[in-house]
A = this chain, B = another copy of it.
């Protein structure tokens, strides 16, 4: 259990680190990406797919230079920053990855294809993340902003704290 639609208000493999088959998780993400790009008539080139796979190597947001380092390691070539940033831009445009503003990092989106504003949960201890969808909160924010006359175009929500595992680890450690 706990794959796909999960706990109330959340989606995706929320903090499933170790509790799911991530090989399958990654494969499915790449397949979803391929299908979407095919369907949209855009090209998921090798560079872009490589970057997507690196981002999806875990559920932990990665910096552009982290991704670059992996590319260098994996390939004989010696890619440069623009390569990574261009791939990330494409993937963001297609809704396949999200930028984590408070970390200057990037993480795979478990819900590509659906236009959604995502709310990110970021563990400060282990670095893992999960995506949550709370339409009620987003509606409330848009309503409040609208009352002030503000036209909302993009909603960024990032919650920092402790994931279930790290929270219980700390509780067990005597806190």
Contact = CB atoms under 8 A, between A and B. Distances in A.
A151 interface: yes
Contacts of A155: 157, 159
Interface string A107-129: 00000000000010101100000
Interface stretch (A2-10, A45-53, A69-77): A2-10
B147 A8 contact: yes
Contact of A150 (B130, B142, B151, B152): B130
Interface stretch (A20-28, A30-38, A83-91, A160-168): A160-168
Main secondary structure of the interface of A (DSSP, over half): mixed
Number of copies: 2
B157 A141 contact: yes
A9 B147 contact: yes
Contact of A132 (B130, B148, B159, B162): B148
Contact of A148 (B14, B140, B145): B14
Given A137-B140, A140-B136, A7 B162 contact: no
B167 A15 contact: no
A66 interface: no
Given A9-B144, A150-B159, A153-B162, 5 more contacts: A8-B147, A9-B148, A137-B141, A150-B164, A152-B160
